[in-house]
């Protein structure tokens, strides 16, 4: 019996022929656990400011954008996006670009409002472990050249 246990121990310690390998870098770990979603709003100096909304979870990009589109005006931080009763945003990830279909026309947002949408989407994407080099394309309900550019957030910089 001792001989069988010794042989089994040697076999197990030999690793069954599996070769050792180098340590592989998996990149930055996703945070996943979050107290809420970060929305990008506009302050009194017309600057984008992140604001954490306590939702108890990170949520999806669509969730965060629906929350952004329903932000009431009249606080220290405001939005440059016109009120809309429809807050559903479709997100289509492609290679290196998140395509957002928003329920807005170009006349419903200012350039800073577009930055709010882009930064909010990228903020959730990066916080969930996505690549911070990803760009965002905002597609409006009516065709416009403003839907063509792949944008980045001026506050989320590549490391």
Q: What are the domain boundaries of the chain?
A: 36-151
- Report, as ranges of residue numbers, the positions in the chain whose pLDDT lies below 50: 5-32, 159
Structure tokens at 91: 């997100």
Please give the pLDDT value at position 31. 46
Instruction: Please say whether the beta carbons of 102 and 64 come within 8 A.
Output: no
- Read off the pTM: 0.77
């Amino acid at each position: 019996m001792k001989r069988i246990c010794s042989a089994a121990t040697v076999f197990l310690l030999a690793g069954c022929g599996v070769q050792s390998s180098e340590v592989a870098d998996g990149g930055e770990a996703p945070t996943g656990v979050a107290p809420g979603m970060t929305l990008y709003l506009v302050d009194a100096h017309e600057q984008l400011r992140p604001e954490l909304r306590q939702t108890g979870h990170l949520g999806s990009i669509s969730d965060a954008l629906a929350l952004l589109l329903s932000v009431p005006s009249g606080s220290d931080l405001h939005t440059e996006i016109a009120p809309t009763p429809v807050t559903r945003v479709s997100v289509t990830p492609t290679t290196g670009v998140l395509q957002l279909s928003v329920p807005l026309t170009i006349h419903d947002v200012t350039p800073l409002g577009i930055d709010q949408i882009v930064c909010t989407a990228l903020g959730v994407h990066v916080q969930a472990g996505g690549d911070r080099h990803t760009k965002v394309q905002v597609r409006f309900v009516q065709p416009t050249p403003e839907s063509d550019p792949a944008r980045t957030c001026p506050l989320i910089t590549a490391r």
